[in-house]
């Protein structure tokens, strides 16, 4: 579903809201997300979003974006965290997501992730701040309760 190729308010989102939400600047939207790990929130569209970030940065093959946080995703996460000078524990929480959202930027109404290998695009926010992706004629929300992003 994800494609390759002033003052800001703090984002107000969490697992308890059921999905990724944000307000104002996108570079603070992910700093309260997670945790994602092999044992917590391990199969959902937010995992797919994180895996897409790993793929865009060259840590995980794009073919492995499957919305399931398994051993390959954990290993790739540890490498990403280490390379970004974070505690490399393989758990994607606010610090890891918060570091990743520093690479988000707007192009019109579209949000993109500036990956080191390729950019992610086709990401958006609704007027209420809920994140979603468009692709293949459908819309998928970044949800902690479904894995629609991965089909």
Residue 13 lies inside a defined structural domain of this protein: no
Residue 80 lies inside a defined structural domain of this protein: yes
Q: Express each pLDDT in 52-103 by its tens digit.
A: 999 999 999 999 999 999 999 999 999 999 999 999 999 999 999 999 999 9
Element at 133 (helix H, strand E): strand 131-135
CATH number of the structural domain spanning residue 58? 1.10.101.10
Give me the domain span that covers residue 50.
19-150
Q: For position 12, what pLDDT does the model report? A: 41
CB 22, CB 126: distance < 8 Å:
no
Residue 106 lies inside a defined structural domain of this protein: yes
What is the residue-averaged pLDDT of the chain? 90
- Higher local confidence (pLDDT), 137 or 41: 41
Residue 35 lies inside a defined structural domain of this protein: yes
> How many domains is the chain built from?
1
Residue 7 lies inside a defined structural domain of this protein: no
Residue 69 lies inside a defined structural domain of this protein: yes
């Amino acid at each position: 579903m994800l494609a390759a190729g002033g003052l800001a308010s703090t984002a107000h989102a969490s697992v308890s809201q059921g999905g990724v939400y944000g307000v104002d600047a996108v570079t603070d939207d992910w700093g309260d997300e997670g945790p994602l790990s092999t044992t917590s929130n391990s199969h959902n569209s937010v995992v797919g979003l994180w895996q897409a970030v790993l793929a865009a940065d060259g840590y995980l093959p794009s073919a492995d974006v499957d919305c399931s946080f398994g051993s390959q995703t954990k290993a790739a996460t540890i490498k990403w965290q280490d390379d970004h000078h974070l505690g490399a524990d393989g758990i994607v929480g606010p610090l890891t997501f918060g570091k990743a959202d520093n690479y988000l930027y707007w192009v019109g109404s579209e949000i993109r992730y500036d990956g080191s290998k390729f950019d992610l695009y086709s990401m958006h926010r609704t007027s209420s701040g809920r994140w979603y992706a468009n692709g293949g004629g459908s819309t998928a929300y970044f949800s902690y309760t479904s894995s629609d992003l991965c089909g």
